[in-house]
Amino acid sequence: MKSGFTYREVCPGVLHITDPLGVHMTLLVGREKALLFDTGYGVGNLLSFIGSLTDLPLTTVLSHGHHDHAMGAMHFPSVRMLAEDLPVFRKYTGRGQRERILRQAGLKAQAREQYLSAAISEPDALEEDCFYLDGLSARVLRVPGHTPGSIALLVPERELLLLGDSWNRETWLFFPESLPVRTYAASFRFLMSHPFKKALAPHVEETVDREYLLQFERGLNEAGFAEAKPAIIPGHEHIQVRAFEPCPGARLVFRA
Ligand SMILES: [Zn+2]
């Protein structure tokens, strides 16, 4: 049976997975252990899909508490996330959000009911600074901005950064739980202070080069914030936002 999940191996032991609704997550497979970064919308049986890719002991870590990364936690006995994002997780994994997701998912009646009623355990507090998988490691980088408890992961052995929602082609900072744009900019500069050559983002299919993210970083400045124009984000029309392009092809959207 088709699982609805697909993946591509970006480099040895690093799998960029796409869930049935199109959001990405990353599986890191070391020699002794595996780590899953994010869990997608929770539509489809993610745990059995991961089981088809690796049988190593698995740790699951959430980049932050939004539904499109965290709802899939319903398939796992436990996941970890920074405690700062627990209020976000509680707000975004309830029934109302599940009903909104189901409008895009096209599930059959029984699967719909299961999805709506599935228990989801609260994430355990993420306290590790680094996960060692033997041959691969994942260093936790705290990047408050998109949400207070957002993290990225640095995989030094592959010179790779896993961005979480701290960067996408359109980076969103307009949620009530988002922090001020200058706080985000400081977090982004902190990310860029680490050694990596390539990056993966959860809403971008292709691998992103460091050089491009450096251009984006250079655009995060007072002149850019001042030139940001009012914008309308479909599905979030009730929020007053401003937007600008820190570099061509990437947009930053923040609360007006
Ligand atoms: Zn998010």
Contacts of 38 (CB under 8 A, 6+ apart): 23, 24, 25, 26, 61, 62, 63, 69, 70, 72, 164, 202
- Structural domains for the chain: 6-166+194-211 (3.60.15.10)
CA of 147 to the centre of ligand 1 (A): 7
CA of 146 to the centre of ligand 1 (A): 7
CA of 212 to the centre of ligand 1 (A): 21
CA of 164 to the centre of ligand 1 (A): 8
CA of 183 to the centre of ligand 1 (A): 16
CA of 84 to the centre of ligand 1 (A): 14
Listing from the earlier edge strand, what are the strands of the sheet with 208-209? 130-132, 137-142, 151-155, 160-162, 198-200, 208-209
Could you list the pLDDT tens digit for every one of the 256 residues in the chain? 467 999 999 999 999 999 999 999 999 999 999 999 999 999 999 999 999 999 999 999 999 999 999 999 999 999 999 999 999 999 999 999 999 999 888 888 888 999 999 999 999 999 999 999 999 999 999 999 999 999 999 999 999 999 999 999 999 999 999 999 999 999 999 999 999 999 999 999 999 999 999 999 999 999 999 999 999 999 889 999 999 999 999 999 999 8
Amino acid present at 203: H
Amino acid present at 216: F
CA of 110 to the centre of ligand 1 (A): 28
CA of 1 to the centre of ligand 1 (A): 30
